[in-house]
Structure 1
Amino acid sequence: MTEFAAITGVVEAYFDGLYHADIELLGSVFHPKAIYATADETPLLYRTMDEYFPVVAKRVSPASRDEPRRDVIEGIQFAGENTAVARLRCSIGTKDFIDFLTIVRTDGEWKIMAKIFHMKERES
């Protein structure tokens, strides 16, 4: 498997985890020390994985509401052998998200180290 395919697999599992509100699946793709942040809330929203996963667990999943999936990988760029950035689009409920995931390889596995995102209400 190429490194690009490995990262694509991480991103696809991330999309599936969000769509099904599956914290076990999300836990498999996020590094335990990863951060979650957005400047679209005041004050800046910042969470650790220990804070983020319980929020996801309480959600009514998009899958249970039969929401259409709007998952798109807009790009993946490598910064070196062990670091990459992915730009993604997805939707949950009435919100559209642009996610920037920093993905690092540690112990031979690619994991999301940071999720920084922009969100807005869907216009359509």
Structure 2
Amino acid sequence: MDLIKQSIEQQLIQYFDGLYFSDVSRLKQVFHAQASYITASSGELLKLTMPEYFAMVEQRSSPASKQQQRTDQILHIDVIGNHTALAKVTCSIQPKHFVDLLSFIKLDNRWQIISKVFHYHLDN
């Protein structure tokens, strides 16, 4: 189990860096090509494909370029089995602060996010 958690932690570091630097190449290493991006924080369902999500990331200014403080934190990793895990993490892309539930699957000897379901709140 420790090796599985370490592998997932490494992917989460890539995930956090991809978000902070708006680096789609890093995010493409972490997300499965068929992954889902889902939230209902605004009161309506938002569901994006990976190409839609990556296009959004490419168009925004990175938190790094604005020298925003990083708030990345792994709250929990739950290993369900040899090919399935769930991570709960937090991070910020100001003015939004996120809690992400990231479902991981292991295919071709590699852990990848297959589903990102998240909630965000805005700065007060």
Q: Which band: TM-score by shorter chain?
A: over 0.9
Distance (whole Å) between structure 2 residues aligned to residue 51 and residue 3 of structure 1:
29
Instruction: After TM superposition, list the pairs within 5 Å mapping 1:2-17 onto structure 2.
Output: 2-17=3-18
Question: Counterparts of 2:123 and 2:4 in 1: how far apart (Å)?
Answer: 33
Describe how 1:18-33 pairs up with structure 2 within 5 A: 18-33=19-34
Matched, 1:56 2:57: yes
Give the Cα separation in 1 of the matches to 2:69 and 2:53: 24
**Contact residue 97 and residue 123 of structure 2 kept, 8 A:** yes
Structure 1 runs, 4 residues or longer, greater than 3 Å off:
none
Q: Secondary structure at the match of 2:44?
A: coil
Match of 2:84?
Answer: 83
TM-score w.r.t. length of structure 1: 0.96
Alignment check: 8 A CA contact 2:4 2:79 kept: no
Deviations 1:10-31 (A, max 9, x none): 0110000000000010001100
In structure 1, what is the Cα distance between the partners aligned to 2:120 and 2:61? 18
Stretches of structure 1 that go unaligned for 5 or more consecutive residues are none
Structure 1 vs Structure 2 CA RMSD: 1.1
* Alignment length (residue pairs): 123
Distance 1:111 1:62 in 2: 23
Residue in structure 1 matched with residue 71 of structure 2 by the alignment = 70
Hey, what does 1:38 align to over in structure 2?
39
1:109 counterpart letter in structure 2: R
Unaligned regions of 5+ residues in structure 2, if any? none
Instruction: Give the whole-Å Cα distance in 2 for the aligned partners of 1:99 and 1:116.
Output: 6
Normalising by structure 2, we get a TM-score of 0.96
- Distance between the aligned counterparts of 1:7 and 1:43, measured in 2? 30
